[in-house]
């Protein structure tokens, strides 16, 4: 393996782990965002007119309480990132890394506040924000990302530090907190002097993207989808949603950065159309795909599947369609054609970019994150001036386009969807007793471990919403056919040392089975 290839693998692996570690808090906040939108929608005069009891002061208080608590969670995005990045990217002893992430963020903010309040540098009030009770420079989510990355690097280097016997108490795990404290205290005093050019650069880049108009929106949507096979799309999405790349707005005397942050701070409190410049980077651009395009593609895939394989493919297509239509999770469906028909995936990425353009051009303002039917109902139909009808106008043409393009291409190229997926090896096995079920679980885990090259080839196993992500020593030892025999929808060999096995909604239980068999915490 060449040095260049090894370096490339390390870079890809780093960003994959980075994107994965940001996914957990964002997934939680996506659910909380629905609550914010629902409480804002229920508090509208139109709802009270339709349902008079909604105007009751006690009901109003309950809605306000739920909304206020939910919004407070969004104020914790930086600290959630700091903890989750340190935890998710730690090699071992992850609970210690998570604590280091919190220490890193708090010390960074507090140390920065001391410099901000000194005579060495001056910041306007609009450049400041309060995090965990500390008034300091407004670094937003990027502050949490920086703290999390520093905590991760310190932890991975020093968690097993050996010191002379006289100082052994301060070695190992304890050294992580100490070194983190000292490092971030120093960085906090220094970072106010370099923050302005960083903030200016991000704002300028965001303005460049905005200046490109609809073409900039297309590039965003296209790249978001194109990067999905590598898992790096999470990085693009979260940077636009939580940093100045997605736009900024002055709210209550403080600049709030990121499309998601601004929208959730203002939804239900300002005219809907004022949020259009931010929602264009959110899930509304995916709705033509999620509600119309991919379900039509699934139907086309079923129609071109040979009769003898339809019984195998049908449940996969139904599960994938329900997943994308209801929750906006697309991987279970996309990985059915990603590797067997990559040109269709390229077409899909282009159509995703066009979907973002159409929604922006139609001034649709649907403040959602996933783009499924739940978001459409809560943030679209229940919100005045959201222009949700344009979702139907722009989305309905996707049905014939996707159906006929997929049917034509798959027929012309004689592509069989999920060709490597045979009948589930567990379908006919007994499952009426606990012992039988436990044996089946153990059997699947051992098949997966063997298909990954054996325990000695496996470095780490973890998962995101739909994929079992496996760091291995050598991906040439991976057996794709065996992996697909365990209900895997697809296998994506990302680099020489990383492979992703797509399981869809069952991925968490599969990951736990494999971790238990490997003895991984």
Give Cα 22 distance to the centre of its chain.
7
The yes-or-no answer on residue 464 being catalytic is yes
Helices 94-116 and 140-158, packing angle to 10 deg: 130
Half-sphere exposure of 338 (CA within 13 A, CB side): 20
- Of 366, 365, 361, 336, the residue nearest 348 (C-alpha): 336
Classify residue 343 as exposed, middle or buried by CB count within 10 Å of its CB (0-12, 13-18, 19+): exposed
Sign of CA dihedral 346, 349, 355, 358: negative
Residue of 464, 470, 488, 494 marked active site: 464
Burial per residue of 252-267, b for 16 or more beta-carbon CB atoms within 10 angstroms, e otherwise: eeebbbbbbbbbbbbb
CA distance 58 to 46: 18
CA distance 209 to 206: 5
Helix, coil or strand: residue 313? helix
Paired residues of 501 in beta bridges: 468, 491
Helix, coil or strand: residue 478? coil
> Which residues, 6 or more positions from 31, have their beta carbon under 8 angstroms from its beta carbon?
none
The residues assigned a catalytic role are 464
């Amino acid at each position: 393996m060449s040095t260049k290839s090894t370096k490339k693998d390390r870079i890809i692996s780093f960003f994959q782990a980075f994107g994965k570690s940001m996914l957990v808090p964002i997934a939680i906040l996506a659910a909380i965002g629905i609550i914010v939108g629902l409480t804002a929608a229920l508090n509208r005069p139109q709802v009270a007119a339709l349902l008079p009891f909604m105007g009751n002061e006690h009901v109003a208080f309950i809605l306000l309480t739920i909304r206020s608590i939910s919004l407070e969670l969004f104020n914790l995005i930086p600290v959630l990132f700091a903890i989750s990045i340190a935890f998710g990217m730690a090699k071992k002893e992850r609970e210690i890394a998570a604590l280091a992430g919190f220490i890193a963020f708090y010390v960074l903010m507090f140390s920065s506040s001391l410099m901000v309040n000194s005579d060495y540098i001056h910041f306007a009030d609009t450049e400041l924000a309060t995090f965990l009770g500390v008034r300091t420079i407004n670094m937003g989510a990027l502050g949490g990302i920086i703290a999390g990355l520093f905590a991760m690097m310190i932890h991975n280097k020093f968690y097993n530090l050996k010191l002379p016997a006289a100082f052994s108490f301060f070695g190992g795990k304890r050294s992580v907190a100490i070194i983190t404290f000292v490092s971030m205290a120093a960085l906090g005093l220094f970072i106010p002097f370099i923050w302005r050019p960083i903030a200016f650069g991000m704002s300028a880049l965001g303005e460049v993207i905005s200046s490109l108009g609809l073409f900039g929106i297309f590039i965003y949507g296209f790249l978001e989808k194109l990067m999905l096979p590598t898992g790096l799309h999470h990085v693009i999405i979260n940077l636009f949603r939580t940093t100045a790349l997605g736009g900024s707005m002055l709210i209550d005397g403080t600049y709030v950065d990121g499309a998601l942050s601004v929208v959730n701070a203002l939804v239900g409190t300002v005219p809907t159309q004022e949020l259009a410049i931010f929602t264009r980077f959110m899930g509304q651009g995916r709705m033509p795909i999620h509600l119309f395009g991919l379900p039509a593609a699934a139907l086309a895939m079923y129609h071109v599947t040979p009769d003898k394989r339809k019984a195998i493919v049908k449940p996969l297509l139904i599960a994938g369609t329900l997943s994308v239509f209801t929750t906006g999770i697309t991987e279970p469906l996309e990985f059915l054609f990603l590797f067997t028909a990559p040109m269709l995936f390229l077409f899909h990425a282009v159509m995703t970019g066009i979907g973002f353009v159409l929604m922006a051009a139609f001034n649709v303002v649907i403040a959602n994150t996933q783009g499924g039917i739940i978001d459409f109902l809560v943030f679209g139909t229940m919100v005045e001036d959201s222009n949700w009808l344009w979702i139907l106008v722009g989305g309905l043409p996707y049905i014939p386009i996707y159906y006929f393009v997929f049917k034509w291409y798959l027929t012309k190229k004689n592509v069989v969807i999920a060709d490597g997926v045979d009948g589930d090896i567990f379908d006919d096995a007994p499952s009426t007793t606990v012992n039988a079920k436990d044996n089946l679980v153990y059997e699947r885990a051992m098949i997966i471990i063997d298909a990954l090259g054996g325990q000695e080839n496996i470095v780490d196993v973890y998962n995101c919403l739909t994929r079992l992500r496996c760091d291995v020593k050598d991906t040439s030892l991976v057996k794709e056919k065996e992996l697909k025999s365990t209900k895997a929808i697809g296998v994506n060999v990302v680099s020489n040392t990383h492979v992703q096995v797509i399981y869809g909604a069952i991925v968490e239980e599969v990951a736990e089975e494999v971790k238990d068999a490997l003895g991984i915490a």
